[in-house]
Structure 1
Amino acid sequence: MKIYLHMNLESFSNCYFVVNELSKEALIIDPGKINGRMINQLEDGGLTLRAVLITHHHKGHTMGLSTLGKIYNVNVFAADSGVASSSGCVIKGDGTLALAGMIVSYYSIPGHSSDSMVFKIGNVIFTGDTLQAGIIGSTNNIYAKKTLRNGIRSKLLIMSNDTVIMPGHGPLSTIGVEKVFNLDLK
């Protein structure tokens, strides 16, 4: 598995291409803005786009869906039915998917938004705005913040310390680093 980071400079959000090198299949996680360089990476690399995974329905993480839909016939997996629409699959709760020759685990961790999902492939988690380096996602009230913290503690912090965090914004981190240095989780 190879992971490529593409940053959307309009919203400073991270988009990830996850590539199965053996099957030449790819997943896209949180397609902010899709540009020619990204399309060329798929096409020139001979990659088949199998699915798009959405961590939550905020514009900076979904605005590339319309471009992808015009070019590819691809399934969208999201907790928000409006995002998944007719060409996708609404996912709820926690579970697993077999996509692009990889096992993708997903976890519902509301708080930042009601549809917040985290995806795990191998030893890497794609957290959207749920968990970022040094902070947790913003919330609208104390109840949502408590819900978010509890979800992170019960579902993410139980993972091994070397699990890599690929957030929706900012730099990468690990579970071990967040356990020690994330003040929002103290």
Structure 2
Amino acid sequence: MKIYHHLDFAKLTNCYLVVNEVTKEALIIDPCKISNALIAQIEQDKYNLVAVLITHKHTNHYRGLKTLRKIYDFTVYAADNELASGMNILKDEGVKKIAGLNVEYFSLPGHSADSMVYKIGSVLFTGDVIFAGTIGSSSCSYTKKHLCKGITSKILSLNDDTVIMPGHGPMTSVGAEKEFNLDLSAQALM
């Protein structure tokens, strides 16, 4: 598996192209802005884009979806009924074979009601659930506490070397977040 990072500089949102090197199938996680560089990479390397995974329904994480649909034929996976076109709605947790890769998914609400985290191999794509050193915003103290509890049980329980690729900012790891995440340490003191 190869992962290519594309950044939407206007919104500082991360987009990831994940490629199965054996089958040349690809998927995109959070198609923020579809750049010429992303399209060129798919076309020049002759990747077959088979799926788009959305971490949550905030416009800056899926605004490139309309552009992609004009160019490619693929399946959208999301927790939101509208984004998933009522067909590939993800709920709770599970595993799907996408692009020849085992894609684990689990719901982690708190930042948004439809927040999904995807795990492919030893890499987590977290959207706005967790970032390097902090967690995603929430609407009140109850949802923040719920989000912290979910992160602790579903993310921090993974191996320390599990890579976290967030919706914004630099990548991090489970081990780094256990040690340095200010929001999670503050929540533990409550």
TM-score scaled by length of structure 1: 0.98
Give the match's secondary structure for 1:150: helix
Residue 85 of structure 1, CA deviation: 1.6
CA–CA separation in structure 2 for the residues paired with 1:10 and 1:108: 28
Give the match's secondary structure for 1:5: strand
Quote the sequence identity (%): 55
Letter in 2 for 1:149: C
Residue 65 of structure 1, CA deviation: 0.4
**Could you say which residue in structure 2 is the equivalent of 1:162?**
161
- Counting only pairs closer than 5 Å after superposition, residues 1-186 of structure 1 correspond to structure 2 as 1-85=1-85, 88-186=87-185
Residue 134 of structure 1, CA deviation: 0.2
CA deviation vs aligned residue, 1:104-159 (integer Å, no higher than 9, x gap) = 00010000000000000000000000010000000010111011001101100000
Residue 51 of structure 1, CA deviation: 0.4
CA–CA separation in structure 1 for the residues paired with 2:48 and 2:135: 33
CA–CA separation in structure 2 for the residues paired with 1:173 and 1:57: 23
Residue 160 of structure 1, CA deviation: 0.1
Displaced runs of 4 or more, over 3 A: none
Residue 17 of structure 1, CA deviation: 0.3
CA–CA separation in structure 2 for the residues paired with 1:40 and 1:129: 27
Q: Which runs of 5+ in 1 are unaligned?
A: none
Residue 82 of structure 1, CA deviation: 1.3
Residue 40 of structure 1, CA deviation: 1.0
Residue 9 of structure 1, CA deviation: 1.3
Give the match's secondary structure for 1:95: strand
CA–CA separation in structure 2 for the residues paired with 1:117 and 1:11: 20
Q: Which runs of 5+ in 2 are unaligned?
A: 186-190
Letter in 2 for 1:99: I
CA–CA separation in structure 2 for the residues paired with 1:100 and 1:176: 29
Give the match's secondary structure for 1:184: helix
Q: For this pair of structures, how many residues does the alignment match? A: 185
Residue 37 of structure 1, CA deviation: 1.4
TM-score scaled by length of structure 2: 0.96
Q: CA RMSD in A?
A: 0.8
CA–CA separation in structure 2 for the residues paired with 1:56 and 1:103: 20
Give the match's secondary structure for 1:81: coil
Residue 66 of structure 1, CA deviation: 0.2
**Could you say which residue in structure 1 is the equivalent of 2:188?**
none
CA–CA separation in structure 1 for the residues paired with 2:28 and 2:163: 17
Letter in 2 for 1:172: M
